[in-house]
Structure 1
């Protein structure tokens, strides 16, 4: 039998997902829930509970829609550490007025319906995702490397470094911002370099966060204090009272970030305390300082015949509102919903199905990307007219409950899945 005949005889799987992180893993679990067993190829190693013994400076701000999707796929009960938040405060240091979302009054009772989201460390979330992938996905492979992908008339062929091959009627690329799937498929990407750097770290403050996320817009860029959970499972915090640790994302011009990165811990504590305007008193401890350049990316196409991109493989947005990971989870939900709607009519990964997914998600993600870019420019501009405009705009929105509710609903992600099978609110 010739090589071509062997190739033709190889089985064509319904779907192969490259990438088993939050977005790829969620996509796989949604497919399993719909009765489709995917093959998941993940380059990452299998995690273990040792990650729970240390605090990660980074957190992912999960929206109510993302939390609901994780609940529906069985992941959420395995999240072993999280910090729910019920309020958000946003203001400009050189303006007046502030925006307050949710329940920022800590004396008022809070219910599950008041939840704005939850902050979860990536490793903690990854551990829960892997738990369910191992339990639900029959072919879940970790530490695998993709050597190449090749299109044929009605399927894609994936070749791994060890020579193993998979043929699939639908290849889903969920392999991150530097996606090999996107690159190997010849899909270009538009990049907007913000010429900014984000400093991330974990800090301990003099006053507790009270389950409120805070963000102040400085002339140099936004500074966010995001609630973190305490290391209750490890007792590393001893008898310290809960609620004093925050995850920081501080956006700065590249040169300013470089200078701050060179500071000693004591000088950095003084700098961030001053920059925050003592919003939670003194910043008294810092851990795990890191810096990373900021750029927005948008794939020129989200789909090709028998191929779809989701998550960071399709788009990367400014971390301004913490929506990047949530946009990726909405990609997964909308893609699977489109697939299953057409599967009910006897179609699988039809070109019109994939196009419908792209239309639904690319326009929405583009709007979010440009909105964040515009907001960052407005907040960073030193022009007096722009400063006046943003102050007046913030004051107007702050005094308009209808607009506040619209912004809150949009950030929740609920509207994006309202017409799908996953809307459970």
Structure 2
């Protein structure tokens, strides 16, 4: 039986980031990833229709972990524009940029998941000795001094700390018999890549329609001549409406999207890779138990309304790593239950506040009550007139304040 102090199941962004942060401090960590190594040429040649919005805190953590230099393609955004089709207020943060912006102008960046996963894999190959791909966990068993892990190749591992970073349908969570609370929004989202007549000028846009929010997110094109015109959309709709729109041919969908977005950027000219997915918020009933911790989507899934799901997962990675290392330095203990509960207490409160906040915001924006429309519009105007309020919301979005008391602040 092979022993490791820490085993992470799942080698995506959150699991990979955790492994890299721990490996930097010479922690014996093994990563078990069911996915194969990506083909770099295939990833770079194909534009993914999805993007992940990375906050400044996430970018900062990727730099610390050594991942950032490997990210081959991304599109910065320097402004956000949010408004309601049936309201009178709107919120703007930052300023549009007519040319490639300098880093000090960024509010964040949009990165395709495949590009990010490629960068994570390349960094782990260079820095994590026990990084294993195309390997599945067959069975988990809790023992007195940790967890025994049975792999699909019949290898057995033993670890004092097992970290589940294996997504919303986490096998680790299921094997540990940790239940999930699920909130079904009765909505689905359409995601695809679109090309617009006017360039986005590095602005992330979101319009709240009576059916749900529609986001236009800047997307880096593999072709330099088309840079600035491609965007990724996330269109939240009642599930029956979503199914109806998914059944349209491309031209009819383009016309419907252009109309509903009020011909934002003078309308859509092309669409690629349409897909839909149901929207459900999920929260694990607990994030930890003896010798085990859940992070990222294994612990929580929130509404994509504010694009914060990936960022709160990266904050899980940072907070868990910081707390583990801090207790190791102070008392020489690794991953005892008191240490793990510190992580759970901190992150569960913050994540559930974000989850419920997104649910309430979605309901408020979708409401057609005249009094709520007035209050919503009035509130947006108040925010726009107050530099302090705008600064507060920007601080919340960039996430850096949450790293202030950790080793990753600077």
Does the TM-score normalized on the shorter chain lie above 0.5?
A: yes
Q: Which one of 350, 353, 356 corresponds to residue 370 of structure 1?
A: 356
Structure 1 residue aligned with 2:236: 251
- SS in structure 1 at match of 2:17: helix
Q: Which one of 153, 178, 187 corresponds to residue 196 of structure 1?
A: 187
- The offset of 1:385, in angstroms, is 1.7
Is the 2:84–2:207 Cα contact (8 Å) retained in structure 1?
A: yes
User: Matches of residues 304-343 of structure 1 in structure 2 within 5 Å?
Assistant: 304-343=289-328
Structure 2 residue aligned with 1:3: none
Q: Which one of 174, 177, 180 corresponds to residue 165 of structure 2?
A: 174
Structure 2 residue aligned with 1:209: 200
Q: Which one of 71, 78, 84 corresponds to residue 76 of structure 2?
A: 84
Write out per-residue CA displacement over residues 185-236 of structure 1, whole angstroms, 9 at most, x where no aligned residue.
000100000000000000000000001100000011000000001204xxxx
* CA distance, structure 2, for counterparts of residue 174 and residue 103 of structure 1: 36
* CA distance, structure 1, for counterparts of residue 210 and residue 381 of structure 2: 18
- The offset of 1:112, in angstroms, is 2.2
- SS in structure 1 at match of 2:264: coil
Gaps of 5+ in 2: none
Structure 2 residue aligned with 1:393: 379
- The offset of 1:34, in angstroms, is 1.5
Structure 2 residue aligned with 1:7: none
Is the 1:213–1:227 Cα contact (8 Å) retained in structure 2?
A: yes
- SS in structure 1 at match of 2:265: coil
Write out per-residue CA displacement over residues 349-382 of structure 1, whole angstroms, 9 at most, x where no aligned residue.
0111100000110000000000000000001111
- SS in structure 1 at match of 2:266: coil
Is the 1:103–1:110 Cα contact (8 Å) retained in structure 2?
A: no
Write out per-residue CA displacement over residues 227-273 of structure 1, whole angstroms, 9 at most, x where no aligned residue.
001204xxxx6xx3420000000000011101100111111111111
Structure 2 residue aligned with 1:5: none
Structure 1 pair 81/107, CA: closer, same or farther in 2 (3 Å)? closer
Is the 2:4–2:28 Cα contact (8 Å) retained in structure 1?
A: no
Is the 1:12–1:155 Cα contact (8 Å) retained in structure 2?
A: no
Write out per-residue CA displacement over residues 13-62 of structure 1, whole angstroms, 9 at most, x where no aligned residue.
21000000000000000001112131000011110111111111000001
Structure 1 residue aligned with 2:133: 142
Is 1:33 paired with 2:24? Answer: yes
Q: Which one of 145, 162, 165 corresponds to residue 156 of structure 2?
A: 165
| Mean Cα deviation higher: 386-395 or 119-128 | 386-395
User: Matches of residues 2-401 of structure 1 in structure 2 within 5 Å?
Assistant: 10=1, 12-49=3-40, 50-104=42-96, 106=97, 111-232=102-223, 240-344=225-329, 345-401=331-387
Aligned length: 408
Is the 1:86–1:103 Cα contact (8 Å) retained in structure 2?
A: yes
* CA distance, structure 2, for counterparts of residue 107 and residue 176 of structure 1: 38
Is the 2:89–2:376 Cα contact (8 Å) retained in structure 1?
A: no
- SS in structure 1 at match of 2:338: helix
Is the 2:162–2:292 Cα contact (8 Å) retained in structure 1?
A: yes
- The offset of 1:12, in angstroms, is 3.7
* CA distance, structure 2, for counterparts of residue 107 and residue 259 of structure 1: 37
Is the 2:31–2:132 Cα contact (8 Å) retained in structure 1?
A: yes
TM-score calculated relative to the size of structure 2: 0.97
* CA distance, structure 2, for counterparts of residue 98 and residue 21 of structure 1: 36
Gaps of 5+ in 1: 1-9
- The offset of 1:390, in angstroms, is 1.1
* CA distance, structure 1, for counterparts of residue 6 and residue 170 of structure 2: 18
- The offset of 1:108, in angstroms, is 10
Write out per-residue CA displacement over residues 367-414 of structure 1, whole angstroms, 9 at most, x where no aligned residue.
000000000000111122221221111111121111111111111110
CA RMSD of aligned residues (A): 1.3
* CA distance, structure 2, for counterparts of residue 110 and residue 295 of structure 1: 35
- The offset of 1:109, in angstroms, is 10
